[in-house]
A and B are shown apart, each in its own frame.
Chain A
């Protein structure tokens, strides 16, 4: 009898995930969204607060109903890797990490290729807005931890918004804040099949889609935009879509970014008022 190892039961069955009885899968219908309170063109309410992490030079926490992420900014600090050649401009490095519990399927501890690429994209989205030329030979590090993700597109756009607020809170000189927003195209009516040419509804643009809606999306777009300088710092579109829908969704996202800009403005003024009362 092997006493060292406790043998498991011969027959083991995967745990049954019981969905609540009234769990009705959302199917895309015209003008109706997964959470019925929202119209297709409006965003989820954003809760944004600075000063979450004491240690960091600047930090921000953002919540869009079920998407929650925290961002810490450290710097400007000396460039650690000596191998770098002399650089007259500051070096911005961003790192996005999904907490292992943040998605339906557990993500592993190591950064997988998707997180590496999202970090690269975030660096490209933020760097046009930061005055890196005033910080020679130094580096700014932005760390984002996604606590709960309800839709990857909305999660990434929230990361852009939170990072830019954290940078402003850290007192780093910036040309403008960067607002991020995402949208998905979902085929609600019968798809227009080219062969039969049957007239039908083109895919509809759902702003800030959540996890459930993303499963039915035909394509998605994420836009990072500097509202007052009127400049797009990053655009990421995937999936098949007509040219007309793309330009329509770019306009929608630009309007949404202006709204988000107001929330960021308010959050930063909030932190100014707080400092006033402490002085």
Chain B
């Protein structure tokens, strides 16, 4: 990661000169820089005594027509939707409506299409760096290199919850979200289900998995079955404990609520994608006194999970936990690549704040990309 970072800085140092602009004449027409060649940039700086203006463009016969008249002493206007490679003539008349003073400026420009949008240079550099880092780490992961990511502390609470369920002789409830199998959150939830099922098999605790879609159900069955095999307890696997409830959002919630009230599970896990129903689920779970662990990438539901659950995996933590458990090189590599991007942000922002304090506006301007 250090090597990649030093490359970034070498690149950035060379970009300083791009940011300076020439002094303005009173009225100028010029090709809009770095565009597709369909616009002309008109800039002006007028006598402060003036209070109105009329910006005009010549048609094919050379007759000027007004197309813009919003007054500002110092301003600009972009004339768009022009033909590539054509020349255009402009006239600016500024006047004072009270005294009748006026002055006329003319200017002309030819449109030109460019090969590269220089405003996006910083975007290109940064995006390439992040993409390169992601691909690099996926490559490393596939080659079998052990990529380190830290253990997510939420996973530790899993053992405690299972322990408590065993002690009480009550089942564990695991809801893999309300999304279908195409959602990475559901996949992450199923990845986390695997070690959980293995533990519950070892302890001999019952595991209930209600599902909203039949696709998720079959995937969950596969996962749990495999985990029970690994734990050496294939006999304890009960297929009917992993079941389809209902496609309907609130119908599903009512069903899970019913299970919580009837079976009184000692530990609830809500991992995956949840919407407005999150609250109804955790409220009921709280009422039954279960230890609750939740995790979702849906930002609007996180507050409710945090206040009503004992442990919450926040946003990306869910994916990180899944990558940690599955050791899938694609997931791990991607995550490491994102981490590189985060490190980059932290360092660049710190540098940017210092630059701003020192008054070096160009640094920030480079990342803004101009317009």
A and B bound? no
A residues adjacent to B (C-beta < 8 A): none
